[in-house]
Amino acid sequence: MTSSSRPAALTIAGSDSGGGAGIQADLRTFAAFGVHGTSAITALTAQNTRGVTAVHVAPRAVVRAQIEAVLGDFPIAAIKLGMLATPAIVRVVAQALAARKRIPLVVDPVLVATTGARLAREDLAESLRRHLLPHADLVTPNLPEAERLTGLRIRNDADRLRAARLLLDDGARAVLLKGGHGKGREVRDLLLTGQEEHVFAQARMPGEHHGTGCTLSAAIAAGIALGESLVDAVATAIDFVGGAIASGYRPGRGKLHVLDTQAIATAMR
């Protein structure tokens, strides 16, 4: 792939000072797929493998300026949204993207960190539903996030399907309801579109893993930027994350494992 043919993707998300999630994970993932990564940082977090100690939300004008700078220069082929932190940032992002509806949009509704720390205001879920889900080509909540977005308590497969349908009703074109927070030996991810239902099952791996949601949504955006269909991009991303988890490592003193996307990138070449 030459530099002139390399597609570009944009991540709009928070920065993780520990390097395991957020902007840092997204850019590593884009690079693993051979996609040029650009970014707009919505918040700075002070965090490591043991927890989050501080969050500073970026000024709205600066968030908007970053997005405009990227979209004004690069031929962005896909956009991924991660941590947006406040309803005000959600509105700024929605306004900045309003004139770019042709660009595929993957929304990862980040509300809580792996360590359990809150990364968003209580009313963020409603803002996401109102301002961004109607423009999302795909929304990728985990089970707790889906409960926050829909108000449902999700206990079984029927509840999962109902929650996914509610998110479609909110305007999302497709929903990937992730099963990592579920129970059992398998992790079952449900992809629901207006026409199709797909279930992706993988063996559950031991340990606590940091940045899985960020990496998954970024990998899907990268696949879309490369021209894959949504179903193929999701399937490839799930396999990519599974491999990165299997080769993950513990860089800090905490119990969290970080995904080894570099090892998978090497294997992909």
Q: Delimit the domains of the chain by residue range.
A: 3-268
pLDDT recorded at residue 121: 58
User: In angstroms, rounded to a whole number, what is the distance separating the alpha carbons of residues 40 and 10?
Assistant: 8
Give the burial class of 34: count Cβ atoms within 10 A of its Cβ; 0-12 exposed, 13-18 middle, 19 or more buried.
Answer: middle
User: What is the rounded average pLDDT of the residues 116-145?
Assistant: 85
User: What is the rounded average pLDDT of the residues 203-226?
Assistant: 91
CB 260 within 8 Å of CB 244: yes
Continuous segment of H or E residues that includes residue 224: helix 212-225
Helices of type H across 19-101: 22-32, 60-71, 87-97
Lowest mean per-residue pLDDT among 104-108, 167-171, 253-257 = 253-257
Lowest mean per-residue pLDDT among 2-6, 21-25, 76-80 = 2-6
pLDDT recorded at residue 211: 86
- Of 209, 12, 196, nearest to 103 by C-alpha is 12
Is 48's pLDDT higher than 60? yes
Is 2's pLDDT higher than 50? no
Is 177's pLDDT higher than 80? yes
User: What is the rounded average pLDDT of the residues 56-78?
Assistant: 97
User: In angstroms, rounded to a whole number, what is the distance separating the alpha carbons of residues 119 and 179?
Assistant: 20
User: In angstroms, rounded to a whole number, what is the distance separating the alpha carbons of residues 207 and 205?
Assistant: 7
Is 246's pLDDT higher than 70? yes
* Three-state SS at 36: strand
pLDDT recorded at residue 115: 46
For 10-40, write each residue's pLDDT tens digit. Answer: 999 999 999 999 999 999 999 999 999 999 9
Angle at 219 between CA 89 and CA 8, to 5 degrees: 70
pLDDT recorded at residue 120: 57
Confidence class for position 51, pLDDT limits 50, 70, 90: confident
β-strand pairing of 186-193 with 208-210: unpaired
Q: Kindly report the average pLDDT of the chain as a whole number.
A: 90
pLDDT recorded at residue 116: 47
User: In angstroms, rounded to a whole number, what is the distance separating the alpha carbons of residues 96 and 141?
Assistant: 23
Strand partners, 175: 139, 192
Q: 230 phi and psi, to 5 degrees? A: -60, -45
Tokens encoding 249: 């490592």
User: In angstroms, rounded to a whole number, what is the distance separating the alpha carbons of residues 30 and 9?
Assistant: 7
For 149-165, write each residue's pLDDT tens digit. Answer: 999 999 999 999 999 99
Q: What end-to-end distance do the CA atoms of the chain give, in Å?
A: 11
Is 52's pLDDT higher than 80? yes
What are all long-range contacts of 247-251, with beta carbons under 8 Å and residues at least 24 apart? 248/207, 248/209, 250/49, 251/18, 251/19, 251/20, 251/49
Tokens encoding 150: 């829909």
DSSP per-residue string spanning 66-87:
HHHHHHTTS-EEEEEE----SH
Tokens encoding 207: 């340990």
Question: Has domain 3-268 been given CATH number 3.40.1190.20?
Answer: yes
- The predicted model scores a pTM of 0.92
For 81-90, write each residue's pLDDT tens digit. Answer: 999 989 999 9
